[in-house]
Amino acid sequence: MRNILTLAIAVVLPVLMAAQPQSSFRLDWAATGSHCVIGGGPSLEFQKKAFNHVAWRGEKVFAQAVVSSEEEELKDVRLSVSDLRNGKSLIGAENIRLQFVSYVVSDLLDTTKYGQCGSREDKSKWGEVLVADVLDINDSMTVPAGRKQPVWMTVSVPSDARPGKYSGKLTVTSSNAKARSLNVELTVADHVLPPARDWAFHLDLWQNPYSVARYENVPLWSEAHFEAMRPVMRMLAEAGQKSVTATIMSRPWNGQTEDAFGSMVTKIRRIDGTWLYDYTIFDRWVEFMFSLGIDKQINCYSMIPWALQFDYIDQATSSPATFQAAPGSEEYNEYWGAFIADFARHLKAKGWFEKTMIAMDERPLESMQAVLGLIRKVEPAFKISLAGNYHEPVIYDIVDFSETFSGKQEFPESAKAKRKELGLTTTFYTCCAEAHPNMFVISNPDEAAWLGWFAQAEGYDGYLRWAYNSWTIDPLTDARFRTWPAGDCFVVYPGGRGSVRFSKLVEGIQDFEKVRILRSRWQETGNEAKLGQLTGILKSFTSETVLAEGPAKALAAAKSFLDRQ
C-alpha cells in the first residue's frame, strides 16, 4: 500500500506543480534619479546591479526598489529589512526606514518655453499624469496588476558606525505570492558628516502654518495645530533648515497660495493715534520652531507686500482696517516706523534681535531704498533679507540675499566674493521661472540633488525655495494648482510624509557638506592635486550643462569622485 501511495504522489505531484502558474511578482532596484510616471513622461530606470552605496558616518543614504506584477494583484504587501552586518558590527534595522511611494496627479511642463509661470486654471491644457512622489506612512498596501510600485529606503548611518562593508536584505511579502528579496550592501567610509543642525549649507524653505491648519481641520494656533505641524516641520529641521518664516502683516504675497498668510503680529491703532502690538502668536510660532532645532534666523515678511495694503485693528471701531501707501510716503513711514521701533524692543527682550531679518521678496530697487532709509533711521542695527533681483546700490546692505537662478548673469562674481568677505549670506532660488533645474512633481528627481552641487560650484552659501508646504486642496491626491506646475508650492506632504524630490534635495545638501569638509582638509594639508580634481568636477555644474544634458552625467562623475575619497 505504501509503495502505491508513493507511486501516486510521484506521478501526481509533478502534474500539480506544472499546473501551478508561475507568479509574475518582481522586486528590482531602480535609480533614485528616476520616478514612476503613469500616463506619459519620463520612464523609470531599473538597475541590474545590486544596491551598493558608499556612505559617510552620519549620512542619510537613499535607495529605490520597485515591486511589480504584470498578471496578478498583490495583496497585503509589506516591507522589511534586516540588520546590515559587517562582521561583529552592525547597522540595526531601526536605522533603516522603508516607505511605499504613493502616486499623485501632476501636470506636465510647457516644453515650448523655459519659464513656467502663469495660470493653469484650465487643467486640460497641461496634460495629466500620475507620478510616484509621496513617501507614504502606511504599513501595507495592495499593488494592482501591471502597476510599478516604488519602495523608498532611507538608511541613517550612525555617526559611530565602524567603517567597512555592510550587507543585509530587503524583503517584500504578499499574502498571495512568495516573498521576494534584494541584497543590500553599504560601504561606510572613514569620514563623519556632522548633524544637520551644524551644516553650513543655508537652507531656507518657506513654511506655511496656515496650510496645515486648513488641511488638518484644526483651529489656527491651537494645541492641535502645533501638534499637526510637528512632524511636518521636524522633517525640515532634519534637512538642516536655518530660517523661520514669520509674517508681520496680513497677506504679504497677496493670497497667491491656497491658504493665505495672516499676520502673526496684531497691530492696534489706539483712539489717540498711538500703536499697541500683540506678539503672542509670533512668539509661540518662533518658540515652536526653535524647539525643533530651526533657530538660526527669523525672516519676517514683509514691509513691502505685493499689494501695498496694510492691516491693523481700529480701536475706535474695534474692527479690522486696511490702507494703502507707497514705501517712503508719510503714512507708510508712520505705520512702519512705530512698528520697527517697538518690534526691535520686543526682539531684544526675547534675545532674538540678532537673528531677525526684515525680509522682502522680489521688490524693486526704489522700494528697497525707501525701506532701508526708514529702518536705518529708526533702528540702524536691524538686518535685511531679500529674495529677488540683484540691486547694485544696496547689495551690501542686505545681510541675507537670494538671487534667482534665471538672473545669475546679472550678479557679478566680484560682488558675490565681496559679500563672502563681509560675512554676508548669499544663496540662490528656483521658482516657476525655471523649467530646469527645479523641484516640481514632474521634475527629474536628480535636479533636486544637482542644486547642492551647483551651490558649491558657484560659491553660494545655500538654496531658497518660496514654498515648503503651501498645499493644494487635496495634495495627497492631486498636486496641481491654479497657477504654476504641480509641486511648485510644496515639496512635502501632510502628516509627516516626505517626497522623492525632497529626499534628493537633502542628498545634494549632504554632498555640499562633504565637499566643504574635504576641501577644507585638502587646503590645510596643501593637497593641490585633490583640489585640482575637485575644481574639475565642479566645472560641470553650470546652468548651460544642466539644460543641455540634464543632471545625471555631472552627478555620476561627482559622486564617483566623492566615493573614492
pLDDT at 306: 87
Q: Over 80: is that where the pLDDT of 26 sits?
A: yes
Strand order in the sheet with 266-269: 275-278, 266-269, 309-314, 319-324
What the chain holds in terms of domains, given with CATH numbers, is 24-192 (2.60.40.10), 202-264+279-306+335-563 (3.20.20)
Cross-strand bridge partners of residue 400: 385, 425
For residue 23, the model assigns a pLDDT of 79
Q: Residues 184, 84: contact at Cβ < 8 Å?
A: yes
Q: Is the pLDDT of residue 15 over 70?
A: no
Q: Is the model's pLDDT at 102 over the cut of 50?
A: yes
Q: What integer pLDDT is reported at residue 48 of this predicted model?
A: 66
Share of the chain above pLDDT 90, in %: 91
Lowest mean pLDDT among 235-244, 410-419, 446-455: 410-419
CA dist., res. 549 & res. 23, Å (int): 39
Least confidently predicted of 37-41, 361-365, 406-410: 406-410
pLDDT band at 501 (very low <50, low <70, confident <90, very high): very high
Per-residue pLDDT tens over the stretch 509-554: 999 999 999 999 999 999 999 999 999 999 999 999 999 999 999 9
Residues 252-273: what's their mean pLDDT? 96
- Mean pLDDT of the residues in the chain: 94
pLDDT at 16: 38
Q: What's the confidence (pLDDT) of residue 18?
A: 40
pLDDT in tens, 185-195: 999 999 999 99
- End-to-end CA separation in angstroms for the chain: 71
Q: Supply the pLDDT for residue 443.
A: 97
For residue 10, the model assigns a pLDDT of 42
pLDDT at 140 over 90: yes
* Residue range 31-60: mean pLDDT, rounded: 85
Q: Does residue 22 surpass a pLDDT of 70?
A: no
Alpha carbon distance 194, 362 (integer Å):
34
Nearest by Cα to 502 from 493, 494, 492: 492
pLDDT tens sequence across 367-408: 999 999 999 999 999 999 999 999 999 999 999 999 999 876
The yes-or-no verdict on residue 255 having pLDDT over 90 is: no
Percent of the chain exceeding pLDDT 70 equals 95
DSSP 8-class letter at 313: E
Query: 152 - beta bridge partners?
Result: 64, 99
The stretch 47-75 carries a mean pLDDT of 92
Q: What is the arithmetic mean of pLDDT over 464-490? A: 98
Whether the CB-CB separation of 435 and 115 falls below 8 Å is answered with: yes
Residue 20 has pLDDT above 70, yes or no: no
pLDDT of residue 514: 99
* Residue among 370, 358, 425 at smallest CA distance from 394: 370
Which pLDDT belongs to residue 406?
A: 84
Report the 3 state secondary structure along 192-259: ECCCHHHCCCEEEECCCHHHHHHHHCCCCCCHHHHHHHHHHHHHHHHCCECEEEEECCCCCCCCCCCC
Using the predicted structure, report yes or no on whether residue 2 has a pLDDT greater than 50: no
Mean pLDDT score, 487-516: 99
pLDDT band at residue 12, thresholds of 50, 70 and 90?
A: very low
Higher-confidence residue of 35 and 163: namely 163
Please tell me the distance from the alpha carbon of residue 259 to that of residue 136, in angstroms, as a whole number. 23
From residue 105, alpha-carbon distances to 115, 151, 267 in Å are 21, 18, 41
Predicted local confidence at residue 41, as pLDDT: 66
With a cut of 60, say whether residue 104 has pLDDT above it. Answer: yes
pLDDT band at 13 (very low <50, low <70, confident <90, very high): very low
